[in-house]
A and B are shown apart, each in its own frame.
Chain A
Amino acid sequence: MKSAPFIMHQAQSQSNILDLLDKYGEDARIIAGGQTLIPVLAMRVASPDHLIDINKVEELKNFGVSGGVLQVGAGVRQSELENWSGLRKTQPLLSMMFPWIAHTPIRNRGTVCGSIAHADPSAELVLALAVLDGSVTLVSKKKKRVAQAKDFFRGALQTSRQSNEFIEAVQFPIRGPLAGFGFSEYGYRHGDFAVVAVAVIKEGDLWTIGFGGIDDVVKVYQCNAKSLDEANQFIDELAAKVEVREDPTATSGLRRHLMRTLGARACQQAAEFKSDEIR
């Protein structure tokens, strides 16, 4: 369980990061929290020649609300956002999800952008970005672009990031004060990746329902339902007809069952949602 040798570059500024990425491209990996990357290196699933450590770049350690979105910089730890007093009001869904993301020591070091960059379809933050229709800001030495979540996530651990691009920040759009949120997840142990996770946003009769863990990317569906029963019926029909992943951890039948049960739970939570009662 030891990484192969590599050269560590301590980036001092964002332009420094972009220069290094421009120079080494595919041979380099960005390391922020490293909570996914270091196990991958230790098991030698990957062995890049260069690591670019961004932990000393102060300009990336900012998060805040502007223009109707919660923007989170590449250096922001998950626990920083989790412990931010304004999180429940601005992004209730994230507030509901954080206790489900690994454990305290991992959230103390892991970053929000790192989780998005890794693009695991059963990761909670990936589900949040997809269901909130958020976006990712990518910069390279030559240009800066913003990719919507649905264009950014291409498959399991696959994104539209080019090898010279750096994820500068991610944006979670803030929903109106009348929106209701629900989240439910099943995993084999507390803190593990979800077998299936469901996030629901209810805005009047419009329900946006995202499923993590059922396919190579988070699947987001919308329906118009006047009652909780109608929303549950929509999920029932969905679970019967959509393609669902089957792997050694769970059969597709179990995943369909979880879509229904967790979906019903998350919908009920969204229907009864009151922003001051989270957790």
Chain B
Amino acid sequence: MKSYQIRLTLNGFEREESCESRTTLLDFIRHDLGSTGTHAGCEHGVCGACTVEVDGQIIRSCLMFACQADGAKVNTVEGLAQSGKLSDLQSAFKKHHALQCGFCTPGFLLSAEDLLKKNPYPTELEVRGGLSGNLCRCTGYVGIVEAVLEVAAARARQSGGEHA
């Protein structure tokens, strides 16, 4: 059954495991590679909890089969913290109570990082638009938006950007 040999780079580490053709990238990361930071929510592309980055683009890992990710560079929420220290975005989520149960958080963090990469100076509306593919049932989104805006401003100050 497990006839597909998949080799990919997960958060900078080369990993190799076998899986079935029907195994989604989400299940492969969680069950076969044991990285359970990425969460399985709706498993049909609605909730955004399983958002990961594949070759520089964020995608829904429940809407891609693992055998399609052979050779890809995959980054998940586990890759955000460096040497055990939370990233600025993760710290801001904590500070602004941008999570309660935490189920949606891995997806939000990946989507927010992608948003800030493409648009370092987002308005509140742009943050809300950029995160509209992720659902949160606890926070009402206010804390999440505040956290992302604060990080955007802090990063702009650090880089000495004129928008700061």
Whether A79 and B45, one on each chain, are in contact in the complex, defined by CB atoms closer than 8 angstroms, is no
CB distance from A107 to the nearest CB of B (A): 9
Whether A103 and B48, one on each chain, are in contact in the complex, defined by CB atoms closer than 8 angstroms, is yes
- Which of B59-67, B75-83, B87-95, B138-146 contacts its partner? B59-67
Task: Select one of A1, A8, A39, A104 contacting B65, CB under 8 A.
Answer: A8
Whether B60 and A105, one on each chain, are in contact in the complex, defined by CB atoms closer than 8 angstroms, is yes
Q: CA separation between A114 and B44, bound complex, in Å?
A: 17
Instruction: Give chain B interface residues in 18-66, CB to chain A under 8 Å.
Output: 20-22, 24, 27, 42-45, 48, 51, 57-60, 62-65
Whether B22 and A6, one on each chain, are in contact in the complex, defined by CB atoms closer than 8 angstroms, is yes
Judge whether B113 is part of the interface by a CB distance below 8 angstroms: no
Task: Evaluate whether A6 and B21 lie within 8 angstroms (CB atoms) in the complex, with A102-B133, A106-B45, A191-B132 already known.
Answer: yes
Whether B60 and A109, one on each chain, are in contact in the complex, defined by CB atoms closer than 8 angstroms, is yes
Which residues from chain A contact B57 at a C-beta distance below 8 Å?
Answer: 79, 105, 108-109
Task: Select one of A6, A39, A108 contacting B59, CB under 8 A.
Answer: A108
CB distance from A170 to the nearest CB of B (A): 22
CB distance from B142 to the nearest CB of A (A): 17
Judge whether A35 is part of the interface by a CB distance below 8 angstroms: yes
Q: CA separation between A6 and B65, bound complex, in Å?
A: 12
Task: Select one of A1, A38, A105 contacting B58, CB under 8 A.
Answer: A105
Whether B133 and A38, one on each chain, are in contact in the complex, defined by CB atoms closer than 8 angstroms, is no
Whether A1 and B44, one on each chain, are in contact in the complex, defined by CB atoms closer than 8 angstroms, is yes
Q: Which residue of B lies closest to A99 (CB)?
A: B129
Query: How many residues on A have C-beta within 8 angstroms of the other chain's C-beta atoms?
Result: 30
Which residues from chain B contact A106 at a C-beta distance below 8 Å?
Answer: 45, 60, 63, 133
Judge whether A55 is part of the interface by a CB distance below 8 angstroms: yes
Which residues from chain B contact A4 at a C-beta distance below 8 Å?
Answer: 22
Whether A190 and B59, one on each chain, are in contact in the complex, defined by CB atoms closer than 8 angstroms, is no
Which residues from chain B contact A168 at a C-beta distance below 8 Å?
Answer: none
Q: CA separation between A190 and B131, bound complex, in Å?
A: 11
Which residues from chain A contact B64 at a C-beta distance below 8 Å?
Answer: 34, 38, 109
Q: CA separation between A247 and B44, bound complex, in Å?
A: 23
Q: CA separation between A7 and B27, bound complex, in Å?
A: 18
Task: Evaluate whether A191 and B133 lie within 8 angstroms (CB atoms) in the complex, with A1-B43, A5-B22 already known.
Answer: yes
CB distance from A212 to the nearest CB of B (A): 20
Judge whether A43 is part of the interface by a CB distance below 8 angstroms: yes
Q: CA separation between A139 and B59, bound complex, in Å?
A: 30
Size category of the binding interface on chain B: 20 to 34
Which residues from chain A contact B130 at a C-beta distance below 8 Å?
Answer: 104
Instruction: Give chain A interface residues in 1-52, CB to chain B under 8 Å.
Output: 1-8, 10, 34-35, 38-39, 41-43, 51
**Could you mark each residue 101-119 of chain A with 1 if its beta carbon is under 8 Å from any beta carbon of chain B, else 0?**
0111110110000000000
CB distance from A267 to the nearest CB of B (A): 25
CB distance from A34 to the nearest CB of B (A): 6
Which residues from chain B contact A105 at a C-beta distance below 8 Å?
Answer: 48, 51, 57-60, 111, 133
Judge whether B114 is part of the interface by a CB distance below 8 angstroms: yes
Please give the residue numbers on chain B whose beta carbons come within 8 Å of chain A beta carbons, in ascending order. Answer: 1, 4, 20-22, 24, 27, 42-45, 48, 51, 57-60, 62-65, 67-68, 111, 114, 129-130, 132-133
- Shortest beta-carbon contacts, A-B, top 6: A103-B133, A1-B43, A39-B44, A8-B21, A3-B22, A108-B57
Please give the residue numbers on chain A whose beta carbons come within 8 Å of chain B beta carbons, in ascending order. Answer: 1-8, 10, 34-35, 38-39, 41-43, 51, 53, 55, 79, 99, 102-106, 108-109, 190-191
Besides A5-B21, A8-B21, 16 more A-B contacts (Cβ < 8 Å) are A1-B62, A8-B67, A34-B63, A35-B63, A38-B63, A38-B65, A41-B22, A102-B133, A103-B48, A103-B132, A105-B51, A105-B59, A106-B133, A108-B58, A109-B59, A109-B64
> What would 25 A/B residue contacts be, using CB atoms closer than 8 Å?
A1-B42, A1-B43, A2-B22, A2-B27, A3-B22, A5-B21, A6-B22, A7-B21, A8-B4, A8-B67, A35-B45, A35-B60, A41-B22, A42-B44, A43-B44, A53-B67, A79-B57, A99-B129, A104-B111, A105-B57, A106-B60, A108-B57, A108-B59, A109-B59, A191-B132
